[in-house]
Amino acid sequence: MRIRAFAAVLAATAALPFAAQATDLEVTHWWTSGGEAAAVKELATAFDATGNKWIDGAIAGSGSTARPIMISRITGGDPMGATQFNHGRQAEELVQSGLMRDLSDVAEKGKWKDVIKPSSLLDSCTFEGKIYCAPVNIHSWQWLWLSNSAFEKIGVPVPKDWNEFVAAGPKLREAGLQPLALGGQAFQAAGLFDVLLISIGGRELYEKVYQDKDEETAAGPDMAKIFAAADEARKLAKGSNVQDWNQATNLVLSGKAGGQIMGDWAQGEFQQAGQVAGKDYTCLPGLGLNQVLTTGGDAIYFPLLEDEEKSKAQEVLAETIVDPKVQIAFNLKKGSVPVRGDVDLGAANDCMKKGIEIIARGDVAISTDQLVSADSQKQKEDLMSEFFAKESMTPQQAQERFAEIIGSAD
Amino acid sequence: MPNPMPSQTGRTAPAPRSSGRPNQLFRNLNSKIALIPMMLVAAVVFFGGTVWTVIYSFTNSRLLPRASFVGFDQYERLWSASRWIISIQNLLVYGILSLIFSLVVGFVLAALMDQKIRFESAFRTIFLYPFALSFIVTGLVWQWILNPEFGVQGIVRSLGWTSFTFDPLYNPDIVIYGILIAGLWQGTGLVMCLMLAGLRGIDEDIWKAARVDGIPMWRTYLFVVIPMMRPVFITTLVLIGSGIVKLYDLVVAQTSGGPGNASEVPAKYVYDYMFQAQNLGQGFAASTMMLLTVAIIIIPWAYLEFGGKKRG
């Protein structure tokens, strides 16, 4: 009897692949926090509605956990149907070595060149005149999220910019609250630093350092100010004792921390928790100082597949992603800005509207992911996570090493 | 159904005394043929892979291997990276301490267990249990135990000692000891079992003789039993040593290298640079350095151990 049952199970599992449709498309991504997962579901539903089937390949952890898995699957000859990467250079070599699929036809049909704003997004998808990825959303790092209840508790009005926030730091500490929430993952410290750089130092300094990779500027007095600010942030962030960015966001959500510098994806967490912008929490784009946003974000890349039906499904998915309706549904849940200039986000909340306005005004800069190679980004992450954890490291020492990294960056 | 029988062919026939000297190549031909796949794997995958890695560590390969050679650039960068230096220091501290402690604690536990105590098997099970857990699980368990809010510190504080501080995982100066605790907890049980087996292998008559001569027990252990257990110690040493060099998952689960990069280890550097930073050349250089370190330790030892005496 046992054997018969066993055989039945075997038969069932063997039959499974035949029962499923041939146009299954596995999509790998690292959208796993509450708000992110809700957004992915919108995308999956829209894709399923086209008669294909979205096979969810979520990889938990941050992008730095997920990307190695994705890349080794593609280079190792087991490509998925489609995969997420950030806008920029993360998939650069995969494209160069011909492992990715050219989407130029789809892009032409959908007039991507005209509708996708800002155009730098499509530029970073382009290699030798061909388009290799479908932009999904625009994310910007330059946001300070503040907990209104925390500031109520200490009897201080909610800060309007970074300087006021720093001034309120000691009071938060006294009240037993964490002034600045910062998780232990390396990308958070590095991201925070870049936000300080562009928000306090301005767009020119940012471009000098990351675009021109000017070692002298990186070692100069303007950058010294940024490192001094980072030193202040380090003191405010001491004692966070959390790892993931959404755990840090949760400290702000629950009023245990005064604020967090994190990209606008944190917005999804507030939304998920049912909090209202302006009432429960406050957002300060550009830390309330220089309102310039970097337009990074996510894009979907499509590995080159031999299976023709799957290749067709890839085209459908690329079209679905850029579709105006899907753009709205996805980005509302995710808290990000659509990649199209021609969709109306009436349902967006105050924070998102601020972001859309700044981007429409053209106060944008190119994200570090697009400007700097993954290798140099990693070196910067190493430096920043060390600097934020090790109090004995002075801002001057950190700046020296930063200048070296910029000098050798590509 | 007939059970698979222990195959006769694989077994070594009662070996003829070495005085006979038949053609060495054809001795135990069957087992040699059976070994061919394994030998091929070892030659191609282990040896070939190693050579390939070393060669490509002299290139500037990024995401994909690329044969454009840049000399020792990768190594220069490696040794000027503070994260690599920290990794090496951490590995040294962890390695030396974990070697000493797991041997000492393991042997003492085994010696105590050998005193014909009651419920020996129950104790043995308890001590060996952590070894059944993977490093990831071990790391997560200890991450919680050492978490200042929920773990030891939280409990002691709730008992009244409000100024008690014990948060090794959040203090860059002592974080490596937090990892060491977890590593010892996981590995000592196995060392104990190996030692116990070694102790059981000591002839009862030796103990009797020592007792007749009036030698105290601790001296018998130290000067008679331990030297006799040399092979067991070597096995244990190899096991502990390889565990130290490949230390990775425990760190990832407990601290993921933090706070900052205070608990980074070489294996993690290799992985991070190969895959996250998409810089294969740098990762290869780091792994070659790891290989070199191991070789520096192993080769002189192996030379001393096997080099001198040539036993047919």
pLDDT along chain B (312 residues), means of 10: 45 50 76 91 92 93 86 91 92 94 93 88 90 91 87 88 85 90 93 92 90 90 90 89 90 86 92 88 94 88 72 44
Is residue A7 domain-resident? no
Is residue A365 domain-resident? no
Residue B74 sits at the chain A interface (C-beta within 8 Å): no
CB contact under 8 A, A385 and B260: yes
Q: Among residues A326, A353, A380, which one ends one of the domains?
A: A353
Q: How far does CA B151 lie from the centroid of its chain?
A: 28
State the best of A385, A401, A404 to mutate against chain B, taking most chain B CBs within 10 Å.
A385
Q: Crossing angle, helix A221-237 and helix A162-174, to 10 degrees?
A: 30
Task: Decide if B97 contacts B178 (C-beta within 8 A).
Answer: no
Residues of A in contact with B62 (CB under 8 A): 93, 373, 375
Is residue A362 domain-resident? no
Kindly write down the DSSP assignment for every residue of A212-231, as one continuous string.
S--HHHHHSHHHHHHHHHHH
The candidate with the shortest Cα–Cα distance to A165, out of A180, A185, A154, is A180
Which pLDDT belongs to residue A12? 47
Cα–Cα distance between B244 and B266 in angstroms, integer?
A: 11
Kindly write down the DSSP assignment for every residue of B239-267, as one continuous string.
HHHHHHHT--HHHHHHTTT-STTTT--HH
Buried b (16+ CB within 10 A) or exposed e, B157-174: beeeeeeeebbbbbbbee
Indicate whether A285 and A242 sit together in one domain. Answer: yes
Indicate whether A112 and A219 sit together in one domain. Answer: no
Contacts across the A-B interface (CB distance below 8 Å): 80
CB contact under 8 A, B170 and A241: yes
**Which of B63, B81, B273 minimises the CB distance to A94?**
B63
Residues 6+ apart with CB under 8 A from B41: none
**Which of A93, A243, A385 minimises the CB distance to B63?**
A93
Indicate whether A212 and A168 sit together in one domain. Answer: yes
Residue B165 sits at the chain A interface (C-beta within 8 Å): no
Indicate whether A251 and A347 sit together in one domain. Answer: no
Indicate whether A116 and A263 sit together in one domain. Answer: no
Which pLDDT belongs to residue A379? 92
Query: DSSP assignment, residue A80?
Result: -
Indicate whether A219 and A308 sit together in one domain. Answer: no
From A377, which residue of chain B is nearest by alpha-carbon distance? B277
Query: What residues in chain A have per-residue pLDDT under 50?
Result: 1, 10-21
CB contact under 8 A, A375 and B260: no
CB contact under 8 A, B63 and A92: yes
From A190, which residue of chain B is nearest by alpha-carbon distance? B260
CB contact under 8 A, B277 and A388: no
Cis preceding linkage at B259, omega within 30: yes
Indicate whether A128 and A245 sit together in one domain. Answer: no
Which whole-number Å values give the CA distances from A73 to A80, A252, B95, in the listed order? 8, 37, 34
Residues of A in contact with B83 (CB under 8 A): 382, 386
From A188, which residue of chain B is nearest by alpha-carbon distance? B260
Residue B148 sits at the chain A interface (C-beta within 8 Å): yes
Number of domains in chain A: 2
Fold of domain B81-307: MetI-like fold (1.10.3720)
**Which of A241, A243, A382 minimises the CB distance to B261?**
A382
Residues of B in contact with A378 (CB under 8 A): 272-273, 276-277, 279
CB contact under 8 A, A186 and B259: no
Indicate whether A38 and A98 sit together in one domain. Answer: yes
Q: In chain B, what are the helix, strand and coil shares in percent, each to the nearest 5?
A: 70, 0, 30
Cα–Cα distance between A3 and B245 in angstroms, integer?
A: 45
Indicate whether A236 and A166 sit together in one domain. Answer: yes
Assign residue A207 the CATH number of its domain.
Answer: 3.40.190.10
Indicate whether A133 and A158 sit together in one domain. Answer: no
Convert the pLDDT of each residue in B230-278 to its tens digit: 889 988 998 898 889 889 999 999 888 878 888 999 999 999 998 888 8
Cis preceding linkage at A118, omega within 30: yes
Q: Tokens for B137?
A: 């699980």
CB contact under 8 A, A373 and B278: yes
Q: What is the CB-side half-sphere exposure of residue B41 using CA atoms within 13 A?
A: 5
Indicate whether A205 and A275 sit together in one domain. Answer: yes
The domain in which residue A90 lies consists of: 25-138+297-353
B50 to chain A, minimum CA–CA distance in Å?
19
Which whole-number Å values give the CA distances from A386 to A184, A186, A393, B257, B312, in the listed order? 10, 9, 8, 10, 55
Indicate whether A244 and A342 sit together in one domain. Answer: no
B273 to chain A, minimum CA–CA distance in Å?
8
The candidate with the shortest Cα–Cα distance to A300, out of A86, A95, A58, A50, is A86
